[in-house]
Amino acid sequence: MKENKTKPDIRFKGFTDDWEQRKLGEIVGIYDGVHQTPKYQDSGIMFLSVENISTLQSTKYISEEDFKRDYKVYPQENDILMTRIGDVGTTNVMTDNTLKAYYVSLALLKYKNTNPYFLSNAMQSNYVQKGLANRTLKTAVPMKINKDEIGKVDVILTAAVEEQSKIGSYFKNLDNLITLHQRECNQLKELKKTMLKKMFPRDGSNIPEVRFAGFTDDWEQRKLGDVTQIIMGQSPDGSTYSETPKDYILVQGNSDIKDGWVEPRLWTTQMTKKADVGDLIMSVRAPAGSMGKTAYNVVIGRGVAAIKGNEFIFQSLIKKDIEGFWKKITTGSTFESLNSNDIKNSNLLVPVNEEQIKIGQYFSQLDNLITLHQRELEILKNLKKTCLKRMFI
């Protein structure tokens, strides 16, 4: 950003005046949370800390007596909370007057004449984030910004109340959309965890709790190596690796898998062991047991194995991972790993008819819904990043 820039790139129609530079301390009152760890209880006044900034909801509570003793100033509707220990500079706006307590890891910003949604997002701009970073004690563990330093940070804003209101409303609506998709995505993920428990047999049983109509037969135990082909990876010569597209996509571990699919990150010109389109990819090193699929023909390194299995097998292995099965059989004291025999000899309960296909289809559709919401969420988050750059200075 040029130092003499006084107007954002994008504005609502009708606004042309220069924006002005102010200190945060001139436009908000800044307050501290309690420094001592409170005495928690099951109900009472909700207690917020840095990890609660995205939702402003918590499962921790303190008594009304402690609240009255420790909080002469407390969050109210349209106030801003900002993280200041560990994570520095993330903000959120209070939406109601329900009493809430807050820890020292959060700073309370009480706005004076500034639209809170405008200011909260202005504080996410690169300009303000850089100012906060410059005053953050990075040598502290965890890093933090002192309360008095927050007020010294510069922010550039419009003095026009109507322009602040329009910008604030735009970002409030965008944040609500992001929250909606995040909530739906989280709910679908929780649904999947629940159905993995109910549609696969529990320990000691050979039939699941929930089944498709028409299926009553017991499931049968098989070893994974007997029902599918498993190929352990072999890393190419490191000198052949490239971050620009070459002959083959290289998969080395969990870092090459995003949202359950291989995502090209590295390439190689050397073919060692390979996996084909549609194969299942298992990480065999930390975190051992995490699963993905590949939509590419790939070279697999030592950190992964390729499994030629169907959708049912894929979901079965995901269930094992969620339940911590693989962690129980990993080897290595400092670097956990799974060997070929560990994987091949692992037991699976499987239906021996088309129930297997129906279960696979159900979870595939559920995964597609999750992916859809994740993509929408990513689009909205990227839109917000772009708007923060172009609608603020």
| Residue-wise pLDDT tens digits, 184-233 | 999 999 999 999 999 999 988 999 999 999 999 999 999 999 999 999 99
pLDDT at 113: 86
Supply the mean pLDDT for the chain: 94
> Which tokens belong to 243?
């971050």
Q: Please report, as a single letter, which amino acid is at residue 291.
A: M
pLDDT at 2: 45
User: What's the whole-model pTM score?
Assistant: 0.82
Domains and CATH numbers, the chain: 20-158 (3.90.220.20), 160-219+351-393 (1.10.287.1120), 222-348 (3.90.220.20)
pLDDT at 3: 54
pLDDT at 343: 95
pLDDT one digit per residue (tens) for the chain, 393 residues: 445 678 999 999 999 999 999 999 999 999 999 999 999 999 999 999 999 999 999 999 999 999 999 999 999 999 999 999 999 999 999 999 999 999 999 999 998 888 999 999 999 999 999 999 999 998 889 999 999 999 999 999 999 999 999 999 999 999 999 999 999 999 999 999 999 999 999 988 999 999 999 999 999 999 999 999 999 999 998 899 999 998 999 999 888 998 889 999 999 999 999 999 999 999 998 789 999 999 999 999 999 999 999 999 999 999 999 999 998 988 876 778 999 999 999 999 999 899 999 999 999 999 999 999 999 999 999 999 999 999 999
